[in-house]
Amino acid sequence: MTTLQAEKRNPEVKAKRLRREGYTTGILSGRELKETVMLQYPQKDALQFIKQNKEGAQVTLALEDEKINAIVKNIDYDPTKKQIMALDLQALVAGEKVSTAVQIRLINEEAVPGFVSQELNEVHYKADPEHLLEPVEIDLSKLSPETKNYYVKDLELEEKGVELLTPESAQIFHIGEVIPEEGEEESAEEADK
């Protein structure tokens, strides 16, 4: 699990000023907390963190001398400024289910004879902290050549102790055939002569 360093933020200081000074702001919320904790992180650390982690990722928050298990609830990123506007976390409590999402990554797309059209990048679910999922990688080189469609039900996530919020019938990706144009077929036939 990734560790993210944070400091408690002074609520008197505006977020805009903190961003100018090289910080990202956010909050830590959770049922067990007496109140929502306002946070600030060094911008470079936060940018490095979101390169590896998306919403729904588990993280250990190092806050002063305390370590808190949490999940990423919201990342507000401004691509024009290449700046994180907010990075919000939710503290995890054993036995308390949280709603989150798991990222879906397709690997070895070049092994597929055709083109891959990914419909879903994440699957939403509920689970208690001990059943939170790591990003799911689907290795396309290991699929049967007959596979043309892949659905949420094919991931078999409920067997891992989670309650799906995304319908099982939702399509994750489709593999389309590459059909050569008429001119391409003729030139291929001429090349064979």
pLDDT tens sequence across 72-111:
999 999 889 888 999 999 998 888 888 888 989 999 998 8
Q: Does residue 188 surpass a pLDDT of 80?
A: no
Residues 110 and 74 in one domain: no
CATH of the domain at 77: 2.40.240.10
**So what's the pLDDT on residue 180?**
67
Residues 125 and 165 in one domain: yes
Total domains present in the chain:
2
Q: Does residue 178 surpass a pLDDT of 80?
A: no
CA distances to 46, 57, 107, 152 from 26, rounded to whole Å, are: 10, 16, 32, 32
d(CA 172, CA 185): 32
Name the band, by pLDDT with cuts 50, 70 and 90, for residue 183.
Answer: low
Residues 28 and 50 in one domain: yes
Name the band, by pLDDT with cuts 50, 70 and 90, for residue 182.
Answer: low
d(CA 30, CA 158): 25
**So what's the pLDDT on residue 52?**
85
Residues 167 and 110 in one domain: yes
172 within domain boundaries = yes
**So what's the pLDDT on residue 112?**
87
pLDDT tens sequence across 126-155:
998 888 888 899 999 999 888 899 999 999
The overall average pLDDT reported for the chain is: 88
Strand order in the sheet with 122-127: 136-139, 98-107, 122-127, 163-164
d(CA 193, CA 131): 60
Q: Residue 8's beta-bridge partner residues?
A: 39
Question: Could you tell me which residue, 193 or 123, shows the higher pLDDT?
Answer: 123
Q: Does residue 44 surpass a pLDDT of 70?
A: yes
Residues 109 and 171 in one domain: yes
Residues 47 and 80 in one domain: yes
Considering 63, 91, 119, which residue would you say is the last residue of a domain? 91
186 within domain boundaries = no
Question: Could you tell me which residue, 140 or 180, shows the higher pLDDT?
Answer: 140
Question: Could you tell me which residue, 188 or 177, shows the higher pLDDT?
Answer: 177
193 within domain boundaries = no
48 within domain boundaries = yes
- 129 is in which domain, residue-wise? 98-176
Residues 76 and 139 in one domain: no
Mean pLDDT over 142-169 rounds to 92
Q: Three-state SS across the chain?
A: CEEEEEEECCCCCCHHHHHHCCEEEEEEECCCCCCCEEEEEEHHHHHHHHHHCCCCCEEEEEECCEEEEEEEEEEEEECCCCEEEEEEEEECCCCCCEEEEEEEEEECHHHCCCEEEECCCEEEEEECHHHCCCCEEEEHHHCCCCCCEEEHHHHCHHHHCCEECCCCCCEEEEEECCCCCHHHHHHHHHHHC
Q: Does pTM surpass 0.85?
A: no
Residues 47 and 77 in one domain: yes
d(CA 191, CA 159): 52
Name the band, by pLDDT with cuts 50, 70 and 90, for residue 190.
Answer: low
Both tokens of 186, joined, read 């003729």
